[in-house]
Amino acid sequence: MPALHNGSITPLPIQGLPHAMIESPLPNLRAWAETLAKLEIPVLPGTVAELSQLREIEENNGNVDAHTLAEGFSNDPLMTLKVLVNVSKHCTRLSVEPPETLVGAIVMQGISPFFHTFQDIHTILDWLRDRPEALSGLIKVITRARRSAHFAMNFALRRQDQDAVVIQEAALLHDFAEMLLWCHAPDLALEIANRLKTDHTQRSQVVQREVLGITLDDLGHELMRLWNLPELLIECTDGHKMNDPRVRSVILGVQIARHTQHGWDDPHAEMALPADIKDVAQLLTLSYDAAQRLVMSIDG
């Protein structure tokens, strides 16, 4: 069990294996990143079921390939992250550049080693069985991440971007630090969510700093650097590089999914969307009305 510096943890049993919940803020960004980097990443239950089914097919027929595997859990940001982290660690030991896509990561690992590595993994239902509010919060973030990826992929395809797959994965993973917070520090994640729900005028990053002492965007980038994830993936999630159309595709996908997570008619969405649509129009060289129709059709 990793040392949690000045933060406190409470061991909880999970299927006979202990895991830790972070109960109070850790002292700084590095402490947060080093701690979370060592903790397990649970995945969606459907991913475990899909892996079991594909493992049986591979054992019986030997015809499962990397594309089939990737398609099986491409909508699971936690499993996607888990695979990329595992392969990046392997690449670091070999002093080679990690693959930029999920398919490439599986190809590098090999089908049999892949099944062996991920044959005994926990699900978010195991992890948060006694934390229904945290489970609900996590599922909302995952649902939002899927919509982010869908928007970003469509923007990238519209631009005929050769890195469309990486852009899609970057949008899917953009909020992975928030997902990990729900898994490993559910009480702190819940406090942030409740504060934002109580006062919609508060900026999420301000509340995150008040509760955690850091922002989740900073934590996500620190973790990606610590794990040595592909540089292009890191760049595509960097909101400070909005001059890059790939980054703009990702960030706009994330923003639109976030602003409309409670519905297109939500007051917050109606207030924030005009600026988002204007940015989409600029990115794709469309009129405002055409960009609005496009965005609405993507989510249809």
Given a cut of 50, is residue 16 above it in pLDDT? no
Could you report the per-residue pLDDT of 86-119, keeping only the tens digit for each?
Answer: 999 888 887 888 899 999 999 999 999 999 999 9
Number of domains the chain contains: 2
Given a cut of 60, is residue 2 above it in pLDDT? no
Query: Domain check: are 232 and 280 in the same one?
Result: yes
For the chain, the first-to-last Cα distance in angstroms comes to: 45
Tokens found for residue 37? 């980097």
Centroid of chain to Cα 200: 23
Could you report the per-residue pLDDT of 228-274, keeping only the tens digit for each?
Answer: 999 999 999 887 888 899 999 999 999 999 999 989 998 888 899 99
Query: Domain check: are 167 and 267 in the same one?
Result: yes
Query: Domain check: are 261 and 236 in the same one?
Result: yes
Query: Domain check: are 148 and 271 in the same one?
Result: yes
Instruction: Give a yes or no: residue 13 inside a domain.
Output: no
Residue 70 in 3-state DSSP?
A: helix
Return the pLDDT at 19. Answer: 62
Q: What is the dihedral of CA 68, 256, 136, 35, to 10 degrees?
A: 80
Tokens found for residue 40? 């397990």
Instruction: Give a yes or no: residue 20 inside a domain.
Output: no
| Residues 177/217, Cβ–Cβ less than 8 Å | yes
> For the chain, what is the mean pLDDT?
90
Return the pLDDT at 1. Answer: 32
Average pLDDT of the segment spanning 116-138:
93
Domain boundary among 124, 155, 173: 124
Return the pLDDT at 178. Answer: 98
pTM of the model: 0.91
> Phi/psi class of residue 144: alpha, beta or left (left: φ > 0; alpha: ψ in -120 to 50)?
alpha
Query: Domain check: are 159 and 276 in the same one?
Result: yes
Tokens found for residue 200? 């919609």
Instruction: Give a yes or no: residue 215 inside a domain.
Output: yes
Query: Domain check: are 72 and 209 in the same one?
Result: no
Domain boundary among 124, 158, 176: 124
Query: Domain check: are 111 and 144 in the same one?
Result: no
Given a cut of 60, is residue 38 above it in pLDDT? yes
Could you report the per-residue pLDDT of 133-159, keeping only the tens digit for each?
Answer: 999 999 999 999 999 999 999 999 999
**Phi (first) and psi of residue 98, to 5 degrees:** -75, 150
| Residues 39/78, Cβ–Cβ less than 8 Å | no
What DSSP designation does 200 have?
T
From the list 172, 136, 134, the residue with the least C-alpha distance to 22 is 134
Query: Which residues fall within 8 angstroms of residue 27, CB to CB, at 6 or more apart?
Result: 5, 6, 7, 213
Could you report the per-residue pLDDT of 179-219, keeping only the tens digit for each?
Answer: 999 999 999 999 999 998 887 778 899 999 999 999 999 99
What DSSP designation does 260 have?
T
Could you report the per-residue pLDDT of 276-288, keeping only the tens digit for each?
Answer: 999 999 999 999 9
> DSSP labels for 87-119?
HHHHHHHHT-PPPSSHHHHHHHH-HHHHHHHTS
Query: What range defines the domain where residue 79 resides?
Result: 45-124
Query: Domain check: are 167 and 217 in the same one?
Result: yes
Domain boundary among 95, 124, 153: 124
